[in-house]
Amino acid sequence: MKVLRLYGASDFRFSEEPLPIPLKDEELLQVKAVGICGSDLHWFAEGGIGDARIVHPLVLGHEFSALTESGKLVAVDPAISCGKCEFCLRGDPNLCPDILFAGHGTTDGALREYVAWDKRFIHPLPDAISDEEGAMLEPLGVAIHAVDLAHIKPGMTVGVFGCGPIGLLITQVARLAGAEKVIATDILPHRVEAALSLGADLAWLVDGQLPESVALEATGGRGVDVAFEAAGVQGAVDDAFSTVAIGGKVILAGIPDNDQTSFSASTARRKGLTIKLVRRMKSTYPRAIEMVARRQVDVKSLVTHRFPLSQTREAFETASKRDGLKVVIQI
């Protein structure tokens, strides 16, 4: 089978390898569609992400759908938790210290023709969901988890700072959770337009930091009840903290390039803020599947670019330019 491995920063190489042999609890899957995530771009550009570095040639790709040997389309949860540790048993498998994650560390991902995966983390898809939409269930799961952390109540006002795929999905899920008003910002015009088309009441194009007065005016001087930072840049973090209301919540979902996020301790303390960080997702696939099957969330329109596996480098370069929204590789 054809396999694409990353040997170091910007160093993709194709190879022919034997089909993986499934273990007792695994199933052989034929990969159909793979989304490129912001974390994949970190691996590609930097040869790592955060404190994780490439230790052997790595197959990237954790947002994917596939076919079973019987021809059934499935979505694949890329996070294999142990199911036995304290964190798994208390219902936080995303915090499992022994978790295996596709396309991360020593666990190969989906940029190859076939993969063997743990049967517990394979989710059959209804006919209403396409292979591309199946790949989009992973970022949707992250958005669902982020909104879960926020405990949104009907009537709340929400800010979304950063309107890439995760921010746009948070916008939609927050609406479903009962948010009365959603305001959004981004530095790219086409993402601001996408936010407005996908449920934001107000959206601004910002160059650096959003003037606090603009967001306060949009919320009657009060600020937003929940601020989601989904850009991975300091300006978006600053906007989230400056515009969130007293007693509000800040949910940090972005992954910063330099592995550092900062905020004013005096602002956070004076406002009495609750600050939470998003660690992937937990047990969200069944809900994500229902949302997409019922067309409560639009994931299809987020896919703006498609490439074959042979053009993966071009796909990553396109994603790095942020010209569109989601780039998908068709296997």
pLDDT at residue 174 tops 90:
yes
Same-domain check for residues 152 and 110 = no
Domain that holds residue 56: 2-136+299-330
Same-domain check for residues 185 and 272 = yes
Same-domain check for residues 226 and 184 = yes
Cα dist. 12→15, 36, 65, 213, 306 in Å?
10, 14, 22, 46, 18
Q: Concatenate the DSSP letters of all residues of 228-259 into one string.
A: EE-S-SHHHHHHHHHHEEEEEEEEE----TTS
Same-domain check for residues 146 and 107 = no
Please name the residue that has the structure tokens 């790219």: 188
Instruction: Sort 123 into a burial class: Cβ within 10 Å, 0-12 / 13-18 / 19+.
Output: middle
Same-domain check for residues 192 and 123 = no
Same-domain check for residues 206 and 272 = yes
Q: Tell me whether residue 285 is in a domain.
A: no
Same-domain check for residues 178 and 264 = yes
* Residue among 203, 248, 201, 204 at smallest CA distance from 227: 248
* Residue among 157, 233, 154, 167 at smallest CA distance from 196: 167
Q: Which pLDDT belongs to residue 207?
A: 79
Q: Tell me whether residue 197 is in a domain.
A: yes
pLDDT at residue 142 tops 80:
yes
* Residue among 154, 330, 156 at smallest CA distance from 249: 156
Q: Tell me whether residue 170 is in a domain.
A: yes
Of 145-149, 163-167, 256-260, the one with minimum mean pLDDT is: 256-260
pTM: 0.96
In angstroms, the CA 15 to CA 23 distance is 23
In angstroms, the CA 248 to CA 125 distance is 37
- pLDDT category at 190 given cuts 50, 70, 90 is very high
Same-domain check for residues 98 and 223 = no
pLDDT at residue 328 tops 80:
yes
Same-domain check for residues 206 and 270 = yes
**Count of the separate structural domains present in the chain:** 2
In angstroms, the CA 241 to CA 208 distance is 14
Q: Tell me whether residue 96 is in a domain.
A: yes
Q: Tell me whether residue 290 is in a domain.
A: no
Same-domain check for residues 232 and 258 = yes
Q: Which pLDDT belongs to residue 76?
A: 98
Q: Which pLDDT belongs to residue 289?
A: 98
In angstroms, the CA 145 to CA 326 distance is 19
Q: Tell me whether residue 288 is in a domain.
A: no
Same-domain check for residues 40 and 60 = yes
Q: Tell me whether residue 293 is in a domain.
A: no
Close Cβ partners of 38 (under 8 Å, ≥ 6 residues apart): 164, 166, 232, 255
Q: Tell me whether residue 283 is in a domain.
A: no
User: Model confidence over 246-305: pLDDT tens digits?
Assistant: 999 999 999 998 889 999 999 999 999 999 999 999 999 999 999 999 999 999 999 999
- pLDDT category at 221 given cuts 50, 70, 90 is confident
pLDDT at residue 243 tops 90:
yes
For residues 154 and 55, the model is more confident at: 154
Share above pLDDT 70 across residues of the chain, in percent, rounded to a whole number: 100
* Domain of residue 152, CATH code: 3.40.50.720
Q: Give the count of alpha carbons within 13 A of 145, CB side only.
A: 26
- pLDDT category at 312 given cuts 50, 70, 90 is very high
pLDDT at residue 208 tops 80:
no
Amino acid at 290: E
pLDDT at residue 211 tops 90:
no
* Residue among 151, 162, 130, 159 at smallest CA distance from 299: 130
Q: What are phi and psi of 321, to 5 degrees?
A: -80, -15
Cα dist. 171→70, 130, 221, 261, 289 in Å?
36, 22, 21, 22, 17
- pLDDT category at 132 given cuts 50, 70, 90 is very high
* Domain of residue 108, CATH code: 3.90.180.10
Q: Which pLDDT belongs to residue 217?
A: 85
Same-domain check for residues 115 and 147 = no
Q: What are phi and psi of 238, to 5 degrees?
A: -60, -40
Q: Which pLDDT belongs to residue 199?
A: 96
Question: 75 near 33, Cβ under 8 Å?
Answer: no
Q: Span 207-230, mean pLDDT?
A: 86
